[in-house]
Amino acid sequence: MEVNKSTTKPKLSTHVRYIILAMIFVNIVINYMDRTNVSIAMPEMAHDLGLTTIEQGFIFSAFGWIYAAMQVPGGLLLDKLGSRIMYTISLFGWSVVTVFQSLVGNFSQLLGLRLGVGFFEAPVMPANNRAVSYWFPENERGTAIGIYSSAQFLGLAFSTPILFAIHKSIGWQGLFIVTGIIGIIWSIIWFLVYRDPDKSRLVGHDELKYIQAGGGITEADIRKDNADKPKVKVTRANLKQLFTRRLIGIYIGQFAISGTFWFFLTWFPTYLTKAKHVDFLQSGFLSSVPYLAAFVGVILAGNISDRLIRNGKSESFARKAPVITGLLLTLLIMGANFTNQPALIIMFMSIAFFGNGLATITWVFVTALAPKNLIGLAGGIFNLCGALSSIVIPIVIGFLVANGDFSSALIFIAAIALLGALSYILVVGKIDLDTKKES
């Protein structure tokens, strides 16, 4: 179906898709709050549990082990169960496990529970992408993806000082209890409210027609695509469709983009408090600045990309420019190696994380390049590549900083970002998103 690229939008009786987007936004805020709480708790936990930096690296990466392993199975389950049921199970499950982290007494127990968080969070990003693909026409999808992607940064920017304060007031045990209970409550709200657009009693007929006319995916589209095809499963033919040159390029890019993100999500609080000797509570407020910068980057990427398309620019240029620019800006993270001034450190970190946010619009390539009947599975593979960085990055950094020096760790992050930029330039190359042709 041809996408309506007109800059004017019809007046609709409902705007339920924006409510759904807001709910996805909250989902991600909670999701990343429960990923990052262990990094905030880690300095005190490491002391209480007697953890070395190498053990801390394994704790930080444990989430990613099973998270990565479950991406493909999670994508298959998502295609069968849908975003409503899959998200409810995931959100409730990881929140309960988060509460149990307050009871750990040693390395092994904490490692096992972090594996549990990774298991239940595995379908989250593919579920977000699926929901947006159903609820938004293509000419609004880049902005929608940019908004929900920004939640991980904006949510952490505002929640990080609060989480530091909670930790300071009731300890790391209380931090896990509070964040877990929030997720349990929200999982119930999601289950009661969310439906796909063609099953929602809230959406107006004109809004539903607007979404579908603009390329919003429906179950009818899936059935039509699958009319002469077997049910979705991992076959040689499907794998061939999911490992074209351009898809491989964006998989590599996702690993690189996620690498920077996982440094900030895991080691950044320890970097400030231990390597740069910033006060614990002050580090909570300073940590929020790079997250805000990344949030601005995500919002700019989505809006600029969609605006360029509406103004007649090449879709390949419009979608790729923010990604490549952002990855190159991330190289400036190395500037923090040459100063001990908190203001300058935060400046370099903020520029690097702004670039990371600018590059996070990459989910739009999954929707554009993957076959419609395999979007969940393609999203799972795409997210798997990002999840691999959550395994590699924390462990490597744990070894690199064993002597207390983070300089080599920042160089390592910059090198990974450069790899991602080269992948989009040389491997992905020029993309014809309208016809999805492979050269």
Decide if 7 is inside a domain: no
CATH number for the domain spanning 414: value is 1.20.1250.20
Q: What is the pLDDT of residue 355?
A: 95
Q: What is the pLDDT of residue 366?
A: 80
Domain count, the chain: 1
Domain around 179:
16-428
Per-residue pLDDT of the chain (439 residues; tens, 9 = 90+): 344 444 456 677 788 889 999 999 999 999 989 988 999 999 899 989 999 999 999 999 998 888 878 877 887 888 888 888 999 999 999 999 999 999 999 999 999 999 999 999 888 888 888 888 888 888 788 778 878 877 877 888 888 888 988 998 999 999 999 999 999 999 999 999 999 888 888 888 888 888 887 777 766 666 665 555 555 566 677 677 788 888 888 899 999 999 998 999 899 988 888 888 777 667 778 888 998 998 888 878 877 887 877 787 777 788 888 899 999 999 999 999 999 888 899 999 999 999 998 898 787 788 777 766 677 777 778 878 887 898 899 999 999 998 888 999 999 999 999 999 999 988 887 776 554 444 3
Report the candidate in 185, 189, 182, 187 with the shortest Cα–Cα distance to residue 163.
Answer: 182
Decide if 11 is inside a domain: no
Q: What is the pLDDT of residue 1?
A: 39
Residue type at 393 in one-letter notation: I
Decide if 42 is inside a domain: yes
Decide if 6 is inside a domain: no
Q: What is the pLDDT of residue 347?
A: 94
